Structure 1
């Protein structure tokens, strides 16, 4: 199995820093408390100094969305949506321990974090422009077709596991109660992304080890080494 970005994605977004983490044995409840409150507090501390729109991590994704022809205030990257919700509602929803951890880390670092159930992604994922005939499944169970040229997470079966890149994840490979093996996708474009993405991945690996007692394998992708195999 694999995860990779198409060459045209690297060419259009040369500042991209992508990190992948693979972990097995993360089913069931964590055996230790997750630091959700601390991560939320870290995000709130940043928000106290200015809205999420002022964060360099969010500004970089807004510029990327604009390059893709998407209105940045209509379509937000996942981390911006989480921070906006935390700022306006002072809380994030509780969904599943893995999802809650990913959301909390995403908010604390202001970087999109996607968690995919490996058993449901087929042979692999390529981040590429859509043809328009791929199938995307909403969390509500409805099928959509991405717009031609829209950046998606595509598998060989023509399913889109994310729309508008980091805007919306798909129901095809979302975390469920029986999820045991995960692939975590972390993507950033701000100036310090090459330092922040490894820090985020190391923090996540540490919490998975503490919470579920598992070891993780993670790596950074580059145009010269664009493929992560697992």
Structure 2
């Protein structure tokens, strides 16, 4: 499977880059207590760190809000998922445990202040393109809402859009039955490729430590 960035997106955000990790023969289950404990403790620490902070002023959040604006998305109405998570913690609305893959993605997102997506490879049809949605792009999101994706950053396969750093679709969502997965790491455009490679390598190794199987990753830019 090939992952590409459309020329439309490149023209608007020339420094756009994304980490792509593919996992095979993994075992997704209820999160181990170690992960649950780290996720809860980290959220509590973040609450104290950001209790009186303007979330929009956090550098990584500010950069992703700017990227949304470049694409044509109003970040005050459609917040990047990394900002949405941090705002929940600021209100002490701590994240519920789902399963090991989603919980680890949430941990990564909070730690590095970037959006991430995780998708069931068996439910993706053909190659994946990251692009900007148009009026015909929509899907039923994991929050049960039918979402219009016009002027939003999306990932798309032959069947249409399935992911976004705003909120992902139900169609390709990962479950405990998933054995092969695609992870998209929405890196800060300003991040150097060398730094991005180290970050994605670290994420992939930790994901593999918890889920087993095989992992391969690369940076697309």
Q: Are 2:93 and 1:52 aligned?
A: no
Query: What is the TM-score of this pair, normalised by structure 1?
Result: 0.82
2:122 equivalent in structure 1: 119
Using the TM superposition, give the Cα deviation of residue 153 of structure 1 relative to its aligned residue in structure 2, in angstroms: 1.5
Aligned to 1:211: 210
Distance 2:25 2:208 in 1: 10
Q: What are the Cα deviations for residues 155-181 of structure 1, in whole angstroms up to 9, with x where unaligned?
A: 112x2112xx41111111111121111
Runs (5+) with no aligned partner, structure 1: 223-230
Query: Structure 1's 172 and 60: CA in aligned 2 closer, same or farther, altered over 3 A?
Result: same
Instruction: State the TM-score, normalizing by the size of structure 2.
Output: 0.85
- Please list, as runs of the form range in 1=range in 2, the aligned pairs for 1:156-167 lying within 5 A after superposition: 156-157=158-159, 159-162=160-163, 165-167=164-166
Q: Which moved more, 1:137-146 or 1:4-13?
A: 137-146
Instruction: Say which is worse superposed, 69-78 or 137-146, in terms of deviation.
Output: 137-146
Whole-angstrom distance in 1 between the partners of 2:167 and 2:212: 30
Instruction: Determine if contact 2:27/2:213 at 8 Å carries over to the other structure.
Output: no
Separation (CA, whole Å) in 2 of partners of 1:28 and 1:65: 31
Q: Report the 3-state secondary structure (helix = DSSP H, G, I; strand = E; otherwise coil) of the residue aligned with 1:168.
A: coil
Q: Which runs of 4+ in 1 moved over 6 A?
A: none
Worse-superposed segment, 33-42 or 19-28 = 33-42
Is contact 2:27-2:212 (8 Å) kept? no
Q: Cα distance, 1:130 vs. partner? A: 2.7
Q: Is the partner of 2:78 in helix, strand or coil?
A: coil
Pair 1:106 & 2:109 matched: yes
Aligned to 2:168: 169
Gap change, CA 1:70 and 1:127, over 3 Å in 2: same
Q: CA deviation at 1:43?
A: 4.3
* Paired position in structure 1 for 2:99: 96
Greater mean alpha carbon deviation, residues 33-42 or residues 64-73? 33-42
